[in-house]
């Protein structure tokens, strides 16, 4: 039996699509040709005739590849990377930051006998323990749009990635552009900030992402 | 030459309607969509793989269809397309549009039913 995936891959060339989407397209076209091949065989064609008929379904495979890329990338101007990573990631970041702002604005403290002794970090702690929800939302959204495992993780922990980038930028400019004396006196300051604002949230976000890593290829579910 | 062009354009124009129509009752995979259209049109509309898939992907991007991988009883995996509410909504206006076009053609060019 012909290896339709291979035959199509050889003919269609590289598409302007992610590897995953390209593989899906090739698999789908291969299924179509396999069905056609089987139908031709059932009608009495020999193997080489059936293969020839199947492959004649596209006069120009390269042109078909371009047309499929155009059709797949049309998507109202939004490509796969935007749908699978940037959009879920940015929305997760925005939601997570808005939630932190709301908590700080409310200055939420437990109204208990221990209220006076409640730690000032309460808004932060509440924010931290709720991060799995944001991670889950980002990963779910990315998975829904066909994101690979790696992309789902990246989209889910995007708030921490952005925060890490911001902290690196601030620290770098503080050290080398502004030559901030505080930073030069306390070089460990970066580590003190990066753990509560990037590393711990990343772990919390990742906890939320985990349940959405089970299916390897959501478009094949 | 001109006749061929008109025929091609007509077929292209009717393709979306044909795809939406065959998917109206049940989800189908690409090969079956092409087969049913050919069968129902008595061979007048034939979709090659090269004509079908770019169109399916465009219709999917517009939210008219949704393709999902499904495993058949024989274990073969196929991508099945089902009509989405947006596609269903498009079906009636498209039918009316084509019906109007044929009405006008009948009046103007004295074209009778095929």
Question: Is B76 touching A (CB cutoff 8 A)?
Answer: yes
Q: Which of A19, A44, A77 corresponds to the end of one domain?
A: A77
Average pLDDT over residues B84-94: 89
Residues A171 and A121 in one domain: yes
Number of domains present in the structure of chain A: 2
Average pLDDT over residues A142-147: 83
Q: Look at residue B2 and tell me whether its pLDDT is greater than 80.
A: no
| Mean pLDDT across chain B | 84
Residues A49 and A138 in one domain: no
Domains of chain B in start order, with CATH, are: 2-109 (1.10.10.10)
Question: What is residue A34's predicted lDDT score, i.e. its pLDDT?
Answer: 93
Nearest chain B Cα to A31, which residue? Answer: B78
Average pLDDT over residues A13-36: 88
Residues A47 and A23 in one domain: yes
Question: What is residue A97's predicted lDDT score, i.e. its pLDDT?
Answer: 93
Reported ipTM: 0.81
Taking only the tens place, the pLDDT of each residue in A53-100 is 999 888 888 889 988 988 887 755 566 678 889 999 999 999 999 998
Nearest chain A Cα to B49, which residue? Answer: A57
Judged by DSSP in three states, B45 sits in: coil
List chain A residues with CB under 8 Å of B67. 28, 219
Residues A127 and A65 in one domain: no
Least confidently predicted of A116-125, A138-147, B64-73 = A116-125
Nearest chain B Cα to A73, which residue? Answer: B61
For chain A, the residues whose C-beta falls within 8 A of a C-beta of chain B are 24-25, 27-29, 31-36, 57-60, 63-64, 67-68, 70-72, 74-76, 219-221
Closest CA to A212 of A130, A142, A161: A142
Residues A24 and A114 in one domain: no
Q: Look at residue B4 and tell me whether its pLDDT is greater than 70.
A: no
- Hey, of B36, B49, B52, B81, which one would you mutate to test binding to chain A, going by the most A CBs within 10 A of its CB? B49
Q: Which of A39, A62, A77 corresponds to the end of one domain?
A: A77
With cut-offs at 50, 70 and 90, classify the pLDDT of residue A113: very low
Residues A60 and A84 in one domain: no
Residues A101 and A206 in one domain: yes
Question: What is residue A104's predicted lDDT score, i.e. its pLDDT?
Answer: 81
B57 → closest Cβ in A72, A219, A221: A72
Question: Is B46 touching A (CB cutoff 8 A)?
Answer: no
Whether the model clears a pTM of 0.95, i.e. scores above it, the answer is no
Residue B13: count of CB within 10 angstroms of its CB: 13
State the residue range of the domain holding A10. 4-77
Q: Look at residue A114 and tell me whether its pLDDT is greater than 50.
A: no
């Amino acid at each position: 039996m012909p290896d339709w995936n291979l035959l199509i891959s050889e003919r269609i060339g590289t598409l302007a699509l992610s590897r995953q989407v390209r593989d899906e397209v090739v698999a789908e076209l291969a299924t179509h040709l396999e069905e056609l091949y089987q139908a031709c065989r059932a009608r009495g064609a020999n193997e080489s005739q059936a293969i020839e008929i199947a492959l004649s379904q596209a006069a120009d495979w390269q042109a078909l590849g371009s047309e499929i890329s155009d059709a797949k990338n049309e998507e109202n101007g939004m490509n796969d990377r935007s749908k699978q990573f940037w959009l879920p990631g940015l929305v997760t970041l925005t939601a997570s930051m808005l939630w932190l702002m709301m908590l700080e604005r409310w200055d939420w403290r437990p109204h208990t006998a221990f209220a006076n002794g409640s730690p000032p970090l309460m808004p932060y702690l509440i924010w931290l323990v709720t991060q799995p929800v944001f991670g889950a939302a980002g990963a779910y959204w990315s998975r829904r749009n066909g994101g690979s495992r790696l992309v789902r993780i990246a989209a889910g922990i995007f708030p921490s990635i952005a925060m890490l980038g911001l902290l690196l930028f601030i620290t770098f400019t503080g050290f080398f552009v502004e030559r901030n004396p505080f930073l030069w006196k306390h070089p460990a300051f970066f580590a003190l900030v990066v753990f509560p604002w990037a590393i711990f949230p990343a772990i919390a976000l990742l906890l939320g992402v985990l349940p959405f890593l089970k299916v390897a290829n959501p478009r094949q579910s | 030459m001109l006749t061929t062009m008109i025929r091609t354009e007509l077929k292209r124009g009717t393709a979306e309607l044909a795809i939406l129509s065959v998917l109206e009752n049940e989800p189908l995979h690409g090969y079956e969509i092409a087969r049913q259209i050919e069968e129902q049109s008595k061979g007048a509309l034939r979709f090659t793989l090269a004509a079908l898939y770019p169109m399916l992907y465009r219709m999917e991007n517009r939210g008219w269809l949704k393709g999902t991988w499904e495993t058949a009883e024989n274990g073969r995996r196929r991508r099945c397309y089902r009509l989405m509410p947006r596609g269903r909504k498009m079906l009636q206006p498209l039918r009316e549009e084509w019906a109007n076009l044929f009405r006008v053609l009948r009046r103007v060019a004295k074209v009778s039913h095929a």
